[in-house]
Amino acid sequence: MELDKSKSAHLKEKLSQSYRLTLHKNPNFEEKGTANFSLIQFYIYLALGLIALILLISSLIVFTPLKGLIPGYGDLSHPKKIRELSMALEEMETRIQANETYTTNFMKMLRDSTQTVEDVSAELSSEAAISVGTIEKVKEDAELRQEIAFSEQIQEKALLAKSSSQKQGIPLERIHFSPPLIGPISAHYEPVKKHYGIDILAPKNTPIKASMDGFVIQADWTMDAGNTIGLQHDNNIVTFYKHNSTLLKKLGDRVRAGEAIAIIGNSGELTDGPHLHFEIWHEGRSINPADFVEF
């Protein structure tokens, strides 16, 4: 017990012992100032200085833009940053959806499971019937509209079936393809290099025309091909028109041969100037458009 008291008294005496700090000027050692302090005062001032420094740094981080330089502590509440992130996210989602649509349609085509004219017509008729049924009408008016719609569907299905039965199995050499546009060919059909069509040059704002009668099965944007439109025709033929600046038709539209469906452009990454990339697929296999179309 006495030993503990002796150590405590010795420590207290040591902390209370006074020290002098003197500043001298070189080279004549002229005294410029002195300061007297004890060890306990030194420790107190040092602790207060550290606390003040911590408070200063914390204030700079919390109340100034410096916090944006700290990883994981960016100011995400800023409206401009929120808008930029939102726009980037929407653009990414659009690209992903466009690529998924393109991949799905392309895989269907390669598997020989592309939609026929009858399939598209049936889907459109079903959607029309559902949309009509959701609107409240007078009973007599609804019955009359249903009879007319049913009659029109029967007539259209009969015409399509007749047309399809006449054209199914026709050799490609006997099928007439209208040129989507007239111009010089800048890149030929080279399936070995995964170039499954031909590139046709034409002036800016030239309209792209449908090569045959059919339905639009693809009308979207992809990263490589840009604005792309695909048409399903009779005889299990599919045509694609890529790198357009503008699409004039939407998914499900029925088009006639020679009808404008897009405007020539330079969209997508796999292009170096305004042109049309035109592809023809028959029963899931690509064919050389130059063998069947005069450009």
Residue indicated by tokens 């290099």: 193
Residue 199, SS3? strand
CA distances (Å), origin 65, targets 59, 69, 78: 11, 8, 11
The H helix count followed by the E strand count for the chain is: 5, 13
Contacts of 96 (CB under 8 A, 6+ apart): none
Euclidean distance between CA atoms 149 and 139, whole angstroms: 15
Q: Which residue has the higher pLDDT, 40 or 253?
A: 253
Secondary structure percentages of the chain, helix, strand, coil, to 5? 45, 25, 30
Q: Can you tell me the distance from the alpha carbon of 226 to that of 245, in angstroms, rounded to the nearest whole number?
A: 8
Q: HSE on the CB side for 148, CA within 13 Å?
A: 8
For residue 153, the one-letter residue type is Q
Query: Which of 124, 159, 130 is closest to 146 using CA atoms?
Result: 130
* Segment 138-190, tens digit of pLDDT: 556 666 666 666 555 555 545 554 454 444 567 888 888 999 999 999 999 99
Residue matched to tokens 């939609």? 115
Question: 262 is written with which tokens?
Answer: 């897009």
Residue pLDDT, tens place only, 10-39: 777 777 777 777 777 777 767 777 777 777
**Mean pLDDT confidence for 196-210:** 93
Residue type, 235: N
> Mind listing the pLDDT tens digit for each residue in 32-77?
777 777 777 778 888 898 999 999 888 877 777 766 666 655 555 5
pTM: 0.46
